[in-house]
Structure 1
Amino acid sequence: MAKAPRRSERREDALSRERIVDAAIELLDDEGENGLTFRALATRLATGPGAIYWHVENKGELLVAATDAVVARAMGEVRTSTKPREAIRRIALGVFEAVDAHPWVGAQLSRAPWETATLQIFERIGRQVEALGVRRSAHFTSASALLSYIIAVSIQNAANGRLVDSSVNRADYLEAEATRWKALDAHEYAFTRNVAPQLAEHDDRAEFLAGIDLILSGVAAST
């Protein structure tokens, strides 16, 4: 006569890796990376830490899995386009918004640059670089330049958002910073003083996409 499954196995099967990853994403969004512990996760899932270890070995593996899930969803939401240039802009904006919504994702992408999440982005960009007709010898450089810019600026944007108190009006904050720039030494900071009005008026997403367009102009020169 077959033995009945152990109680712990039934509980662990019901839990599932997907549920654990979803709960980890919620916990990371609420508490940040330091708040992600197996004890806190077990409390959120109303289970024991042992059930989680059945599916995930350690915090590092869980962070990778959570990042993979967020990036996969972001890439899945990117609308397809017949024009490679526009597709790259949409991929870039998808990453930008994902990191903005989940700042811990940016930290993980920079810490583990060639894990699956980064490769997902790189693959999507690379296919569009090919579609642009870029010569084969420039494929890696072109896709890498775009990837580096997208991740770095997305991380910086998310970091900037955390520096400013949520109660502070963005326009007022930028106006105050622009005023500070204008007051800098005219000899040492001539350029910074001159672009101060643009700081006060700029839109983060528009500037981000303008940078993508600058890179794509360079990429176009490689065709």
Structure 2
Amino acid sequence: MTTRTRRSSRRSEALSRERIIEAAIELLDADGEAGLTFRVLTARLSTGPGAIYWHVANKGELLDAATESVVAAAVPLDPAGSARSPREEIRAVALGLFEAIDGHPWLATQLATQLSRSPWGSVTPRIFEGIGRQVRALGVPESGWFTSTSALVHYILGAAGQNAVNGRTAQPGVDRGEFLDAVSTAWEELDPDDYSFTRAVAGQLRDHDDREQFLAGIDLVLAGVTAIHPPDGQRR
């Protein structure tokens, strides 16, 4: 009886929607969207396709659910007991998304798809809420909420997505330092009359840290937001 109960418990856990989404994320991380098929998923879960279709109707719904799960973990809407300032909270949300996209190479494409094709779903509102609450807390007037939040969201997703692409497209077997050194060297050898600026920053490219550069960009956007939309009490 005990053995039968344990088997039943394991089977129930394997067939839950949460377990299916977890397995889907594991497959996406390993092999990308092409590697996520219901055949492979049923083999991973040791079940039949009918049991999976009971919880998710198709691959599109499964991709949406996997995206929602990762974003929900990266962007908590109610950080318990946080003593951070609004600016610090924005940096924390931004870095959470940066690391989620960096850790899940398929995520950038899915976020772009959801933001453009189904902005009414749970992902877009969660990201906007996570950033927008803090924009409001900065004292930005209501007329500037949407534009300011949109600018931050577009920067975060664009920069984080590009970073993830750069990590995937570097030459196989070449580490990041070697890759950046090769690019910097090529920039330094450009024609000085046509590419004076690019040559001048080549050394900065060689030595930069991706996360620090990303967060510096957040600070630049926030500086612009607060300069254009100062809190009501600071307006002249």
Same structural fold, with TM-score higher than 0.5 when normalized by the shorter chain: yes
Tell me how far apart the structure 2 counterparts of residues 158 and 101 of structure 1 sit (CA, whole Å).
8
Offset from partner CA, 1:81-101 (integer Å, 9 cap, x none): 430001100100000000000
CA-CA distance at 1:165 after TM superposition:
4.2
Asked if structure 2 preserves the Cα contact closer than 8 Å seen for 1:99 and 1:105, the reply is yes
Within the candidate set 90, 93, 107, 1:91 is matched to 93
Tell me how far apart the structure 2 counterparts of residues 202 and 149 of structure 1 sit (CA, whole Å).
18
Gapped runs of 5+ residues in structure 2? 1-10, 231-236
User: Residue 15 of structure 1 corresponds to which residue in structure 2?
Assistant: 15
Moved more, 135-144 or 186-195: 186-195
User: Residue 108 of structure 2 corresponds to which residue in structure 1?
Assistant: 106
Match status 1:180 vs 2:186: yes
Tell me how far apart the structure 2 counterparts of residues 106 and 14 of structure 1 sit (CA, whole Å).
28
Gapped runs of 5+ residues in structure 1? 1-10
User: Residue 223 of structure 2 corresponds to which residue in structure 1?
Assistant: 217
Asked if structure 2 preserves the Cα contact closer than 8 Å seen for 1:99 and 1:158, the reply is yes
CA-CA distance at 1:167 after TM superposition:
3.0
RMSD of the alignment, in Å?
1.7
User: Residue 126 of structure 1 corresponds to which residue in structure 2?
Assistant: 132
User: Residue 24 of structure 2 corresponds to which residue in structure 1?
Assistant: 24
Asked if structure 1 preserves the Cα contact closer than 8 Å seen for 2:14 and 2:20, the reply is no
Tell me how far apart the structure 2 counterparts of residues 166 and 119 of structure 1 sit (CA, whole Å).
37
User: Residue 34 of structure 1 corresponds to which residue in structure 2?
Assistant: 34
Tell me how far apart the structure 2 counterparts of residues 43 and 63 of structure 1 sit (CA, whole Å).
18
Tell me how far apart the structure 1 counterparts of residues 83 and 125 of structure 2 sit (CA, whole Å).
20
User: Residue 53 of structure 2 corresponds to which residue in structure 1?
Assistant: 53
- Kindly report which structure 2 residues correspond to 1:60-79, keeping only aligned pairs within 5 A, or say none: 60-76=60-76
Moved more, 128-137 or 114-123: 114-123
CA-CA distance at 1:76 after TM superposition:
3.5
1:112 counterpart SS class = helix
Q: Percent identity?
A: 58
Offset from partner CA, 1:57-105 (integer Å, 9 cap, x none): 1111100100000011112397834300011001000000000000111
Within the candidate set 169, 174, 177, 1:168 is matched to 174
Asked if structure 1 preserves the Cα contact closer than 8 Å seen for 2:14 and 2:45, the reply is no
